[in-house]
Structure 1
Amino acid sequence: MEPDQIQTLMAAFDHTSEAQMRDPHPMYRAFRTQCPVGRSEQHGGFFVVSSYELVKTVFDDYARFSSTEGVGIPPHPYKMLPIDLDPPQQTKFRRVLNPRFTVESVSALAPKVEAKVHELIDAFIERGHADFAAQLVRPLLPAIVLPLLGVPMSDQPQMSAWIEYLTRGRANDLAGVAKAGEQIGAYLMGLVAARRQQPPIDDIMGLLLSSEIDGKPLSDGEIFRVLLIILFGGLDTTSAVMLEALLHLSRNPVDARRLMSGELDWARAIEEFVRYASPIQGLRRTVSEATVLGGQVLVPGDWVFGLHGSANRDPAVFKDADRCVLDRTPNPHLGFGSGAHICLGRNLARLEIRILLQTVLHRIPDYTTPSDFDPEYLAGEARGMKSLPVRFTPGRRRANVRSTEGVA
């Protein structure tokens, strides 16, 4: 590609464009090889960083590349905590939340996750066809995450709709996004105020209500901003990995058999699914001091957008980077981020992905996607399939089959 062509391509880069994000990897490859730090003129202008080394630098070096002005392009209507903070203040919020997201803590949720996956499969298994996105993956995550936050399950549809709009609508409907932000803000602030008048409950909201930072209780606004980022992470990004993994296993049944036989290690496979899917395609940082990155002069106030989705396909780090290799090792992917802001919920995501995949492969081992299926993707910082239609041999509801306890 000629220099003027790559500059034109870079200037037009827009991660919120469904057309561009349907298959962004050829574009990412051109960026990495010819313009690892270049400028997009979309959304007011920002610098795009595409190579693994430079993306990791952006996310590890919070002294030069700050999160305090927000991490989204276009900006989110609300500041979210702790993602929109830098250490040491960010570390204080993480320290409050970390105990709820350790491997040991999230392992206690395994029976609930497995039971919900079975319940959702029961609803369609006798039909022999389903949309795994609409009928399995997307209903699963709110059922796990919302109770952790103290949000009633009766409010799941509205909560999911608000989060979806805040995620996807910022590029073309700022007024609608602002309205959705006001609505979710009023709802969560009302929930926090109500909980302050109730006896303590052992959930994440209860933890936030009882915690202090620098000797002061968290304000209602701080609690709202923490709940908001957990909702974004818990209801959107994990689903992208699940759907990409389900599609891969339908097209690569040998991998499915090797996983279920124990020939392939589940933990290693899940890391590869995360790398390959890169559910967060990119996040923003704001330059806080004059610096040079990849030969590009940056000044304070510049927006820098690090492309996880490109870094995770960089052949300088990953052999056969465009292939999903389930026994890949080592696998230093950036799918969960890097540095101080590495994903807080990564252990919960790993648990949910493993249980969902194991249960599907156990109960619906012959599911297939149509031979002509060409996935369409939702676009934004996160990228996930809109739908995943499958067919399979009809089965029986769990009440009529032997227990699968221990499968997950």
Structure 2
Amino acid sequence: MDRGALRGADATDLALENLMTEQQAFDHHSAEHAADPVCAYRAIRQGPGSVRTDAHGGYTVLTRYEDIAAAASDHSAFSSAFELPGDEGYGGGITLPRNPDSGRTSLAEMDPPEWRRYRRMLNPIFTPGAVSRFSPRIQAITDEAIDRFVTKGSCDLVLDLVSPVPAIVTLEVLGMDTSEWERYAVPLHTSVYIPRDVRTPAWQELQDGFRWIFQQIRDEIARRRAEPKEGDLLAAIMNADDPEGPLDDALVFETAYTIVAAGVETTTSLLSSALWHLDRFPQDRQRLLDDPSLLDAACEEFLRYYTPEQAGARTVAQHAEIGDESFERGERVLLAWSSANRDEAQFPDADRFVLDRRPNRHMSFGYGIHRCLGSHLARQEIKIVLGEVLRRLPDYAIDRQRTELYPDLGLMYGYKHMPATFTPGERKKA
């Protein structure tokens, strides 16, 4: 069965039965989980609500909206920090397991009071009004991508559209060179599903790719220190106003890298799922073709239903209780955003895609103080790309036999390949 399709009650009952007997074996990076993550989380959510597992050094997964909201709102007990104060070298942060070769992910892995200073500096840069000035370039980049294949009548919607557009947009709004966007996109996409075995050549190749990305960002910061520029996000970050002074190069690097990583991978994953859905459910595509004003609500439902970032980790900093579970300092906890987004207690008929669902308080951009800083920019990209596909490729048909989901859906839900055909069209630019 297609992993994007919903399974019925029988599958949930079987998953729940297996869960009750094999709780310690739960692993969100396993092939078993990737076979049907929706059903896997539903079984926990409708059963005990949380599960403790021995995988990856041990952690507890929370699956219910209310419990996840409580943990995400309590940063004093459930820390996002890369290292807990007083635990020098302790690897915590928001990914589980931690990439052994990575560093801190800027604001996402800070707690107050440090977090408060940097968020205050960066909030004005990412308001809807501030990022709206990038809309014309997002539109132009999307047009150029479609122009490259629109006359052929076929493409790979991932490789030719939803991978290049977010990568190029992200690099351009930062003010960085876009000519080698693939050298950013390939490692960032690969990192979310590659087996975490540091001994393999593939892992070493991946780390080489990340070292190249890191060096490009550091080199750009050095160039800006020598010859300042204005008018882009990197300049705004470097010049952010704060009584304590500007960010140092290390914080500028962390912030820029976080924007690159989130902007390239998350948007690609969501767009690929949305395109898959509109092919699988033509009635929803037709509704958007007939009434484009529904696109705003549809984008929010795509985000809820096909949550791109499946889960985020926290480290327990002090004794806490969530539901019937008690947690002690040093324990690791996984907040399953995608499960919260399917919680029947929060979303009526949660396992049904409702194109115009309102209200829609999904957790796809996180929850609490660490709600995604770049959410407004991501929404702009999603709406522009989907809008152009509906206008210029209205009859696209995906070759589902050749479509590939990520083999590991523990961190990100997305597609590697999505071949499609359509009625050839005309380029916007000659």
Task: Tell me, yes or no, whether TM beats 0.5.
Answer: yes
Partner of 2:413: 383
CA separation of 1:26/1:167 partners in 2, compared to 1, >3 Å: closer, same or farther?
closer
Map residues 179-328 of structure 1 onto 2, 5 A cutoff: 179-211=208-240, 213=242, 215-262=244-291, 265-328=294-357
Distance apart, 1:332 and its partner CA: 1.2
2:33 to 11, 14, 20: 20
**Is contact 1:22–1:376 with CA below 8 Å preserved after alignment?**
no
Distance apart, 1:339 and its partner CA: 0.7
- Cα distance between partner residues in 2 of 1:4 and 1:330: 33
Query: Once the two structures are superposed, what CA deviation does each residue of 1:4-60 show, in whole Å capped at 9, x if it has no partner?
Result: 731454433333335522421111111111221211221111111111111111111
**Aligned Cα RMSD in Å?**
2.2
- Cα distance between partner residues in 2 of 1:71 and 1:222: 18
Of residues 372-381 and 85-94 in structure 1, the stretch that sits farther from structure 2 once superposed is: 372-381
Of residues 229-238 and 106-115 in structure 1, the stretch that sits farther from structure 2 once superposed is: 106-115
Map residues 330-341 of structure 1 onto 2, 5 A cutoff: 330-341=359-370
Say if 2:168 is the partner of 1:155.
Answer: no
1:46 to 52, 59, 78: 59
Q: Which secondary structure state, in structure 1, belongs to the residue aligned with residue 71 of structure 2? A: helix
- Cα distance between partner residues in 2 of 1:4 and 1:300: 31
Say if 2:168 is the partner of 1:143.
Answer: yes
Distance apart, 1:135 and its partner CA: 0.6
- Cα distance between partner residues in 2 of 1:210 and 1:43: 40
Query: Once the two structures are superposed, what CA deviation does each residue of 1:261-290 show, in whole Å capped at 9, x if it has no partner?
Result: 327622211110100111110000111111
Distance apart, 1:73 and its partner CA: 0.9
CA separation of 1:83/1:390 partners in 2, compared to 1, >3 Å: closer, same or farther?
same
Query: Once the two structures are superposed, what CA deviation does each residue of 1:56-78 show, in whole Å capped at 9, x if it has no partner?
Result: 11111112111113111111410
Distance apart, 1:374 and its partner CA: 6.1
CA separation of 1:95/1:260 partners in 2, compared to 1, >3 Å: closer, same or farther?
farther
Q: Which secondary structure state, in structure 1, belongs to the residue aligned with residue 180 of structure 2? A: helix
Partner of 1:357: 386
- Cα distance between partner residues in 1 of 2:211 and 2:397: 42
CA separation of 1:197/1:108 partners in 2, compared to 1, >3 Å: closer, same or farther?
same
Distance apart, 1:203 and its partner CA: 1.6
- Cα distance between partner residues in 1 of 2:75 and 2:169: 32
Percent identity over the alignment?
A: 34
Say if 2:106 is the partner of 1:81.
Answer: yes
CA separation of 1:155/1:213 partners in 2, compared to 1, >3 Å: closer, same or farther?
farther
2:134 to 93, 101, 109: 109
Equivalences, count:
400
Of residues 289-298 and 365-374 in structure 1, the stretch that sits farther from structure 2 once superposed is: 365-374
**Is contact 1:166–1:180 with CA below 8 Å preserved after alignment?**
no
Say if 2:146 is the partner of 1:121.
Answer: yes
- Counterpart of 1:325, as a letter, is V
**Is contact 1:78–1:181 with CA below 8 Å preserved after alignment?**
no
- Cα distance between partner residues in 1 of 2:197 and 2:190: 11
CA separation of 1:38/1:226 partners in 2, compared to 1, >3 Å: closer, same or farther?
same
Distance apart, 1:370 and its partner CA: 3.2
TM-score when normalising by structure 2: 0.87
Give the gaps of 5 or more residues in structure 2: 1-12, 83-92
**Is contact 1:6–1:35 with CA below 8 Å preserved after alignment?**
no
Of residues 59-68 and 253-262 in structure 1, the stretch that sits farther from structure 2 once superposed is: 253-262
Say if 2:425 is the partner of 1:395.
Answer: yes
Distance apart, 1:200 and its partner CA: 2.7
**Is contact 2:163–2:185 with CA below 8 Å preserved after alignment?**
no
Distance apart, 1:95 and its partner CA: 2.0
Query: Once the two structures are superposed, what CA deviation does each residue of 1:171-227 show, in whole Å capped at 9, x if it has no partner?
Result: 223763655554433332222112100033222221222235551331211111111
CA separation of 1:220/1:399 partners in 2, compared to 1, >3 Å: closer, same or farther?
closer
**Is contact 2:185–2:265 with CA below 8 Å preserved after alignment?**
no
- Cα distance between partner residues in 2 of 1:47 and 1:195: 44
- Counterpart of 1:55, as a letter, is I
Query: Once the two structures are superposed, what CA deviation does each residue of 1:336-362 show, in whole Å capped at 9, x if it has no partner?
Result: 111101111111111111111111111
**Is contact 1:31–1:50 with CA below 8 Å preserved after alignment?**
yes
Of residues 261-270 and 381-390 in structure 1, the stretch that sits farther from structure 2 once superposed is: 261-270
**Is contact 2:174–2:233 with CA below 8 Å preserved after alignment?**
yes
